[in-house]
Amino acid sequence: MRSVIVVGAGAMGRTWLDTIARRSDLHVSAVVDVVEGAARSAVEERGWDAPVFSTADGALSAVHADMLLNVTIPEAHLAVSSAALRAGVPVLSEKPVTPTVAEALQLADLSESTGVLLVTSQSRRFSPGISTFRDALQARGGAGQLDTRFFQNPRFGGFRDRMDHPLLVDMAIHSFDQARFLLDEDPESVYCEEFAPSWSWFDGGAAAEAIFRFPSGARFSYSGSWCADGLVTSWNGDWRGSAPDGTVTWDGEAEVVAQGRDDDPAAVPLGPAPDGEGLDAALAEFVAALDGGPVPSGEVHLNVWSLAMVEAAVQSADRGERIVLADVFDAARRDASAR
C-alpha cells in the first residue's frame, strides 16, 4: 500500500482524492491546503481521518509519503513540487507543470539532480477515442496535416474571466499536448493570432488560430474559442487528420471515422482502455513507473514541450511573428540559470 499526500483541496484536488480512493493499492496519508478548512472539509466529506496541513513542507516532515499529488493553483506548482522532490518524494502534478517554461526547466533539473520522478498529468491523452484515432492515423501512414476545432462557451465567472490569455494559457495546452501525442513528435515553430470577438465575456483574448510546424513537415492547426455560443464541440475538440493512405476524423468523444481513396467512410471500433481513462489512467501510468514500468508520457522533460507550445503561441500572438521553439527554450534556459 502506497501513501499519498494530496496538496490542493479545491475542485480538482477533490476529484483526485476520489480517483485515489478507487485504487486499493493507494491511501491518502495527508491532505494539504493553504486554506486549512478546505483540506479539513475535503477529508470530512469523505468520512476519512487523514491529517490535514496548511503547507506541503509541514505534511512532508510529519507523515510518510510514497508520492505527492500537486493539485494547487499553477503559481504554487514550483514551490510544492520542489519541496517534494527535495524530500525524495515522487510527484504527479496537475497541468501546467509550472506557469513558465523557465520554471519547468528548474523542476526538470531538480528532478534530475535528486533522481526523483516528476510527471505532469495530461489526462486528455488517455481515452479509447484518442488512442483509436492515433492508431487509425498511424495505420494510414501517419498524419501530415492535423487540425482541431475547439469551440465552447463556459461562463466561469472567476479568475479565467480576468486572465490575459485565458484560452491559450488555461485550455489550449490540452489540445497542444494531444497533437504531440497524435503526431509523436515535438514542434519546431508556431504562428498564432489571438483575439477577442466583439461578443466575448472574457477580458483577455478568448479565441485563437495557431499553426504549428513539425520537423517531419507535418502541420497542426488549432482553431479555438471559449466564447462560442451554439454548436459547441466536445471538450476534446473536433479532429481531422490527413495521412498518405486516407483521412481519419475524431469527434473528441467516441466517434472515429476513417476513409481511404477507394473505401466508403467507416466507423473505427474503439480499442480497450485497461487502465481506465483520464485521471485514472494517468495515475495508473505513474504508479506503474514507480514499480519500474516505462517512463510516463508526462515526465517533466517530455511534458515541457506542451508548455513551450503555449508559451510560443502567446509570444507569437503578442509579437505578430512566427516563433521558433528552440528560441523559447534558449531564453527559458537563460532565465532558469539566472534564478
Ligand X SMILES: NC(=O)c1ccc[n+]([C@@H]2O[C@H](COP(=O)([O-])OP(=O)(O)OC[C@H]3O[C@@H](n4cnc5c(N)ncnc54)[C@H](O)[C@@H]3O)[C@@H](O)[C@H]2O)c1
Q: Which is nearer to ligand X, 144 or 154 (CB)?
A: 154
Specify the pairing of strand 238-243 against strand 145-151.
antiparallel
The stretch near ligand X (CB under 6 A) out of 33-41, 130-138, 237-245, 285-293 is 33-41
Residue among 49, 86, 45, 54 nearest 72 (CA) = 54
Q: Is 35 in the site for ligand X (CB under 6 A)?
A: yes
Rg (CA), the chain: 20
User: 77 to 106, contacts with ligand X by CB under 6 A?
Assistant: 80, 94-95
Which residue in the block uniquely carries the three cell numbers 509523436?
184
Q: Which is nearer to ligand X, 119 or 137 (CB)?
A: 119
1: which 3 cell numbers? 500500500
Cα–Cα separations (whole angstroms), residue 35 to 11, 29, 52, 113:
13, 18, 10, 32
Q: Scan residues 42-61 and list those touching ligand X (CB under 6 A).
A: 56
**How far is 38 from 54, CA to CA, in rounded Å?**
10
- CA-to-CA separations, 128 to 81, 131, 135, 201, 270, in angstroms, rounded: 30, 5, 10, 34, 6
Candidates 9-17, 142-150, 176-184, 188-196 — which segment interacts with ligand X by CB under 6 A?
A: 9-17
Which one of the spans 31-39, 125-133, 238-246, 321-329 is the region binding ligand X (CB under 6 A)?
A: 31-39
What would the x/- binding string for ligand X be over residues 110 to 149, using CB under 6 A? -------------x--------------------------
Applying CB under 6 A, the span of 74-82, 125-133, 208-216, 265-273 interacting with ligand X comes to: 74-82
Q: Which of residues 164-183 bind ligand X (CB under 6 A)?
A: none
Indicate whether 74 belongs to the interface with ligand X (CB under 6 A).
yes
Query: Which one among 6, 65, 71, 182 touches ligand X, defined by CB under 6 A?
Result: 71
Q: Based on CB atoms, which residue is closest to ligand X, 12 or 324? A: 12
* 12 scored as a contact of ligand X (CB under 6 A): yes
- Give every CB contact of residue 217 below 8 A, 6+ residues apart in sequence: 144
72 binds ligand X (CB under 6 A): yes
Q: Print burial letters for 219-241: b (CB count within 10 Å at least 16), e (below 16).
A: bbbbbbbbbbeeeebbebbbbbb
For ligand X, the closer CB: 45 or 327: 45
Q: Are 286 and 299 in contact (CB under 8 A)?
A: no
**What kind and span of H or E run contains 257?**
strand 256-259
**Size of interface with ligand X, in residues (CB under 6 A):** 22
Please tell me whether the peptide bond between 244 and the residue prior to it is cis, using omega within 30 degrees of 0. Answer: no
Q: Which is nearer to ligand X, 82 or 247 (CB)?
A: 82
Binding site for ligand X (CB under 6 A): 7-13, 32-35, 38, 56, 71-74, 76, 80, 94-95, 123
